[in-house]
Amino acid sequence: MQELKQIVDETIKALEEMKRSGVTHVTASKEALEEIGKPLPKPASAGWSALEAETKACKKCGELARSRHSVVFGVGDPRTELMFIGEAPGADEDEQGEPFVGRAGQLLTKIIEAMGLKREEVYIANVLKCRPPQNRPPLPDETANCLPYLQKQIEMIRPKVIVALGATALRTLLDIQIGITKMRGNWYTYRDIPIMPTFHPAYLLRNPPAKKEVWEDMKAVVAKLGRELPLR
Ligand code: SF4
pTM of the model: 0.82
Which band of pLDDT confidence, cut at 50, 70 and 90, is reported for residue 2? very low
DSSP string computed for 173-218: HHT----HHHHTTS-EEETTEEEEEE--HHHHHH-GGGHHHHHHHH
Cβ–ligand 1 distance for 169 under 6 Å, the answer no
Element (H, E) at 165: strand 161-165
Give the 3-state secondary structure percentages of the chain, helix then strand then coil, rounded to 5: 50, 10, 40
Q: Could you tell me if the CB of 59 is within 6 A of ligand 1?
A: yes
CB contact at 8 A, 201 and 90:
no
Question: What is the residue-averaged pLDDT of the chain?
Answer: 90
Tens digits of per-residue pLDDT, 147-200? 999 999 999 999 999 999 999 999 999 998 889 999 999 999 999 999 999 999
- Residue that wins the pLDDT comparison between 231 and 223: 223
Q: What is the pLDDT of residue 106?
A: 98
Residue 17 has pLDDT above 80, yes or no: no
Nearest to 107 by CA among 227, 205, 217, 4: 205
- Summarize pLDDT for 30-88 with one digit per residue, the tens: 555 555 555 444 545 679 999 999 999 999 999 999 999 999 999 999 999 999 999 99
Q: Is the pLDDT of residue 9 over 80?
A: no
Q: At the topology level of CATH, where does 46-223 sit?
A: Uracil-DNA Glycosylase, subunit E (3.40.470)
pLDDT band at 1 (very low <50, low <70, confident <90, very high): very low
Ligand 1 and 142: CB distance under 6 A: yes
Hey, where are the domains in the chain?
46-223
Instruction: Write the pLDDT tens digit of every residue in 126-143.
Output: 999 999 999 999 999 999
pLDDT band at 24, cuts 50/70/90? Answer: confident
Which pLDDT tens digit goes with each residue over 208-222? 999 999 999 999 999
CA dist., res. 118 & res. 85, Å (int):
16
Band of residue 5 on the pLDDT scale cut at 50, 70, 90: low
> Cα–Cα distance between 184 and 151 in angstroms, integer?
21
Mutate which of 68, 70, 71 for ligand 1? The one with the most ligand atoms within 8 Å of its CB, which is 71
CB 139 within 8 A of CB 133: no
69 Cβ below 6 A of ligand 1: no
pLDDT of residue 198: 98
CA–CA separation, 174 and 182 (whole Å): 14
Is pLDDT larger for residue 109 or for residue 21?
Answer: 109
Is 70 exceeded by the pLDDT of residue 28? no
Establish whether residue 127 lines the binding site of ligand 1, counting it when its CB lies within 6 angstroms of any ligand atom: no
| Closest protein CA for atom 6 of ligand 1 | 130
Q: Would you say the CB of residue 125 lies under 6 angstroms from ligand 1?
A: no
Indicate which atom in ligand 1 lies nearest the CA of residue 62.
5
Instruction: Find residue 197's DSSP bridge partners.
Output: 164
What pLDDT is recorded for position 40? 46
* 105 within 8 A of 93, measured Cβ to Cβ: yes
Q: Name the band, by pLDDT with cuts 50, 70 and 90, for residue 19.
A: confident
Q: Is the pLDDT of residue 100 over 60?
A: yes
